[in-house]
Amino acid sequence: MSNRAEQTEGRGGVSRVEAFSDGVIAIIITIMVLELKAPEEEDLSALWHLWPTFLAYVLSYAYVAIYWVNHHRLFSHARRVTSGLLWSNIALLFALSLVPFSTAYLGEHHFARDPTIVYLVTMLLPAVAYAWLQGEIMKVAECSAADQRYLIATRRKGQAATVVYFLGVPLAFVTPWLGIAAAALVAVFWCLPFSRLDALFLPEDCAA
């Protein structure tokens, strides 16, 4: 019976999951700016003290925006809503909802070692949930060769990003800035348009 409910919902049901996800991601990305508090001093020099909070905001904004872009593309392949899709999506939104917390922690402590490690770990959690979501959507995606290729390429790209974040943790023990550099590298890498770089992640053939 659950199966039946899922099948009759179709793309309409998918739209509502997208809309809810958009709402949650929009709030996550926007409440981070609340950390950027207006300085009590009037002159411009007081603004410079905000740079760690601002830099942490820029990094996390880019991070969440990339997740939104990928989420957007991934869901365009979903044909119907399943329990697995719903719960993996809810897990992803939960993981992303921790980003404002670790961003505030990172900014307030001026990119110190421990907050940097916490930040990188928080960046890893959504990757795990996203991999789960991707698996669930591939189960119900249309099996056109191009779709499969796209999904496989993005999965590999996501795995590469996860490895970089993971390597960032020991690097942050050396100096936090190496950890931050790892996070920034992944952001730049995802923002680049689909190009030669992506070719690295494309499967040899479509018989996935």
152 interacts with its own copies by CB under 8 A? no
Q: How far is the CB of 15 from its own copies (least distance, A)?
A: 8
Could you say which residues in the range 5-34 bind its own copies, by CB under 8 A?
5, 8-9, 12-13, 16-20, 22-31, 33-34
43 interacts with its own copies by CB under 8 A? yes
Q: How far is the CB of 167 from its own copies (least distance, A)?
A: 20
How many residues belong to the chain? 208
DSSP letter for 37, please: P
Tokens representing residue 182 in the block: 């790892």
Q: Which stretches within the chain are classed as H helix?
A: 2-31, 45-48, 51-75, 83-97, 99-108, 113-140, 145-174, 176-191, 196-199
201 interacts with its own copies by CB under 8 A? no
Could you say which residues in the range 73-92 bind its own copies, by CB under 8 A?
73, 76, 83-84, 86-87, 90
Backbone torsion region of residue 10, taken as left when φ is above 0, otherwise alpha when ψ lies between -120 and 50, otherwise beta: left
114 interacts with its own copies by CB under 8 A? yes
Could you say which residues in the range 154-193 bind its own copies, by CB under 8 A?
191, 193
